[in-house]
Structure 1
Amino acid sequence: MSELPETENHTQKSKKLPQFVAVLLATIASFSIGTYLSWTSPALPLYNKNGTLFISDQEGSWICALLPAGAIVGTVPAGILADKFGRKKTICILSVLLLTCWLPISFAQTVNWIYLGRFVAGVSSGAVSVVIPIYASEIADDSIRGALGTIFQLQITIGILYAYISGLIGDVIGMSMFCAAIPALLLMVCPLLPESPVWLIREGRKEEAHYAIRKLRGQYYRTDDELNKLENNLTSQGDRVTFLDLIQYKKALIITLGLMVFQQLSGVNTLIFYAEKIFKTAGSSLSSTISSVIVGIVQVIATYFSTILIDRTGRKFLLFVSASVMSICMFTLSGYFHFQNEHDVSKFAWIPLLSFAVFIIIFSVGFGPIPWLMVGELFTNNAKSTASSITAITNWTLAFFVTKCFQDMVDIMGISSSFATFGMISLFGTLFVTTMVPETKGKTIEEVQIELYGFVQEPPSVGPKTQT
């Protein structure tokens, strides 16, 4: 292939903006996940308030929980589909599913239609949570890999805020159509996404990989070195790793699964799904809808700053601080609701909002984005799809149980003891981060592999495919 000569105008320096644009467009899918996650908070109270459809507490818990339940199913084939059809085409297919799921939710005459829409939306969300982190890690320069990786979580938080704001509409159909505009936008911008050069090289489509890299790095970027590096890495790393093969990545698997466990068992999804109900129970002077919007705004701002902090302060430090402060916030909420049963705490009704906001801030700069990012930093390219699938399965399975069981926990233990349980789990999370998690900031995948195992993992390989 022809290359432009290197002159004053034709530099080898990689441009960062095209990579940010590509990830921002792709993570509109994550934005859509956020709207599905938090839609229940403003929507469920409206059904009974407006008399359109009565939703019991148990039915409401199922409406919340069926999203992560569907996501468990969606994570299983996502990596395989992304490897077969490509990252770009898979994202486009998922955008169609994310859009159409709002129809049964919007116009449901019975709760079963809401169940169906939420479950299928969960399938799509689970697949997105596998494909998007893979795509972001494969198109990113090492120097901005951390920042690009956090955009996935940033877009989720923006989606959460967007759905909270939709509650101001005061109508379930209007809210749902408002949220449906996001996957519709994704469907329109999908053709603009460049395909992953890593996937193209694996498929033997080197010429297309050359143009994809140019689109991501700049018109005058010389692609030879990067193409050769990708080919050498894929040749040495071999074919796609199966679930059974992941045992040889034991340390990386323990770390990523552990981070997902502590992320979900921190109780974050219970706060997001039941935000309005929690604020109403707490007796806040602000309306529950406004309180939810305030928390959503805080979460977006905090997650944005995490994109700056993550490549400056390091992953391990942010995870440690995040788990520590989340534990304090949950114990504070527990204490508030404990004393609420015995004393007049109306003068301190601001405490739940403050604790909620601080929890969301610190989650958003640490345990929100970093566990997803670590999947791309601890595994070699041929293992990322499989590793992303199994970690996403773990994540969504835990999200399902925590979301579904929260109402049962409150019924059995009380809301104070429920929050105390989440606080203890985050406390154990600080110990896990201290003893198990390595620092990966600024390191290549090969350097991380050497730090974990003393060598780069090299399963049996046949190399990348040849183009026919």
Structure 2
Amino acid sequence: MTFLENPNCLLSRRNRIQFLVTLLVNIAPFAHGLGIGWMSPVMRDLTTDQSPLNFPVLVEDVSWIGSLVGIGAMIGNILAGTLINRIGRKPVMFGLAFPALIFWSLVYYVQSVEYLYVGRLMAGLTNGAFYVVLPTFLSEIADDNIRGRLGSMILLTVNTGVLTGYIVSSHFDYFTAPPFIIAVPICYIIGNFLFPETPIHLIRKGKFQKAKESFQFYKNIRRDDIKAESEFEDLKLKVIKAEAEQAKSFDYRDFITKPAFKAYASGAVVLIANQFSASFCVSSYLSTIFAASHTTLDMTMCTIVIGSVQIVGTYATTLLCDKYGRRILMLVSSSGAAICLAIFGTYTYFAKIYNLTAVGWLPLVILACYVFLCNIGLVGCVFVLLLEFFPTKIRSVCVSTFIVILSGMVFLALKIFPICVAEWGISVTMWCCSVSTTLCFFYFYFFLVETKGKSLLEN
């Protein structure tokens, strides 16, 4: 068997269209990550004498600029969750580009801090919507054996965009980048014309011929393939049966079953581990954290290194998620992140008392290990797990609800993290995050069930 004949190879005949479409739709997460990475150093400069703007920006303003992305994400979650089954995956995916276009336009034509508020709100709206629609879209076009890898690529492209944003903001001034970056969401719009709606959604809408054509497109199979014909008919029967059962018996009791409560508990702990391990706060307040660590290294270089490590971590997730399973990645990620947070807190505690310039490189090494370990599980597996936790009947409602909750937790974490650092210091803040992550590790060890290879049409 050659490399390309391996059914698990993303470039095999069966998988290559699914992989290429995944690359196209991930332009939206890349554009969002680009905005996060570009804004991070810019927010640091807005309150200094080096501010590129001709009006004052206060520290409180910067905290709102940083955290409003969470409010926008909640709005995007709700809109996408409401529309995804009514109008389809493709129309919602088209809509992702327009808030991003508004964000970059407001950043470029900024006249007051309110422009940045609205811009970040729009960026968050795109963020929240694609975290609902893209995992659903990819799970419906992907085969079970590669679904984890394709789904985890969302975080990989976000982090690639973050690193690109770090580099762009370090080498170009404020008003140079936006006119060129705005081309990215435009490319995303063009790319969306190249592929059809998912076969599962078309079956649910009774458009069986279009569903069959969509199935053949994504599986890259010939129209006269008898085996593929049988496979499509099997999928159609499963979807119709699931829809009939849902329409017949869907009521509040579906939400209070034992499997549902187990899914709620696992989903809640995954969200807590994702946000209160400080994973997103570290990315957003990286310069502040490095300054508090008394490192002697160049801040720009440290930022780019961390951005690169994020990419390596999420890429590792795409390689390991379907091979070793979700549970082992979550265990390694949570335990490793907790240890790194504890060590970083201890280092910063002693850095205030003793002169540690001889090991001034250590904060970068600790944070690089932390970011890598976070991204292989606590960050990289979140959306794959949320899709696989819940029973079929309540999956769409629960996933949408939990992603809205996650967006709210993003806002909360981004608001309270700098307050905690100011009140308690960076050491105590990191120790608290370490304790939270350790508790999540014990939950994963005793209660987390492996979902690798699970069909989304199964309960």
What amino acid maps onto 1:288 in structure 2?
M
The one-letter code of the counterpart of 2:363 is: P
Note the C-alpha offset of 1:182. Answer: 2.4
Q: Deviations over 1:246-270 (max 9, x none)?
A: 4442222321232112111110111
Q: Distance in 2 between matches of 1:21 and 1:219?
A: 15
CA distance in 2, matches of 1:384, 1:33: 26
**Cα distance change, pair 242–49 in 1 and its aligned pair in 2 (3 A):** farther
Structure 1 CA distance for aligned equivalents of residues 148 and 445 of structure 2 = 20
Residue 322 of structure 1 corresponds to 333
Residue 234 of structure 2 is aligned with which of 229, 245, 264? 229
Query: Does the 8 A contact of 2:144 with 2:455 survive in 1?
Result: yes
1:457 corresponds in structure 2 to: none
Contact 2:242-2:457 within 8 A present in 1 as well: no
Greater shift in the superposed pair: 46-55 or 153-162: 46-55
Q: Structure 2: how far apart are the matches of 1:177 and 1:160?
A: 18
Alpha-carbon distance between aligned partners in 2 of 1:188 and 1:73, rounded to the nearest angstrom: 25
Q: Which runs of 5+ in 1 are unaligned?
A: 1-12, 450-468
> Which residue of structure 1 aligns with residue 88 of structure 2?
86
CA–CA separation in structure 2 for the residues paired with 1:73 and 1:245: 26
Counterpart secondary structure, 2:295: coil
Q: How far is 1:440 from its partner?
A: 1.4
Shift in Å, 1:95:
1.2
**After alignment, is 75-84 or 399-408 more displaced?**
75-84
Bigger relative contact order (CA 8 A; separation at least 6): 1
Aligned counterparts of 2:368 and 2:179: Cα–Cα separation in 1:
28
Alignment of 1:383-422 (within 5 A): 383-422=394-433
The one-letter amino acid paired with 2:328 is F
CA distance in 1, matches of 2:59, 2:175: 21
The match for 2:35 is: 36
Unaligned 5+ residue runs, structure 2?
Answer: 1-11
Conserved 8 A contact 1:42-1:164: yes
Task: State the Cα deviation string for residues 66-116 of structure 1 (Å, max 9, x = none).
Answer: 001111122112122111121112111111222222111222121111001
Note the 1:335-374 alignment, pairs <5 A.
Answer: 335-374=346-385
User: In the TM superposition, what is the alpha-carbon distance from 1:170 to its structure 2 partner?
Assistant: 4.1
Whether the 8 Å contact between 1:44 and 1:55 is mirrored in structure 2 is no
Letter in 2 for 1:439: E
Partner of 1:132: 134
In 2, the alpha carbon distance for the partners of 1:181 and 1:437 equals 42
Structure 2: distance between partners of 1:118 and 1:149:
25
Residues 247 and 349 of structure 1: CA distance in aligned 2, closer, same or farther (over 3 Å): farther
Instruction: Tell which deviates more after alignment, 301-310 or 274-283.
Output: 274-283
Specify the code of the residue in structure 2 equivalent to 1:399.
V
Task: Give the aligned residue type for 1:50.
Answer: Q
**Matching residue within 62, 74, 77 for 1:60:** 62
Q: Distance in 2 between matches of 1:367 and 1:327?
A: 11
The equivalent residue for 1:427 is 438
Inter-partner Cα distance in structure 1 for 2:384 and 2:141 = 14
Q: Deviation of residue 126 (structure 1)?
A: 0.6
- 2:146 is paired with a residue whose SS is helix
Counterpart residue number, 1:188: 190
Compared with structure 1, are the counterparts of its residues 353 and 181 closer, same or farther at alpha carbon in structure 2 (3 Å cutoff)?
Answer: farther
Distance 1:181 1:294, change over 3 A: farther
Equivalent position amino acid for 1:17 in 2: R
SS in 2 for 1:50: coil
Q: Give the superposed CA RMSD.
A: 2.0
Which residue number in structure 1 is paired with residue 102 of structure 2? 100
User: Does structure 2 retain, via aligned residues, the 8 Å contact 1:329–1:359?
Assistant: yes
2:154 paired residue number? 152
Aligned length: 436
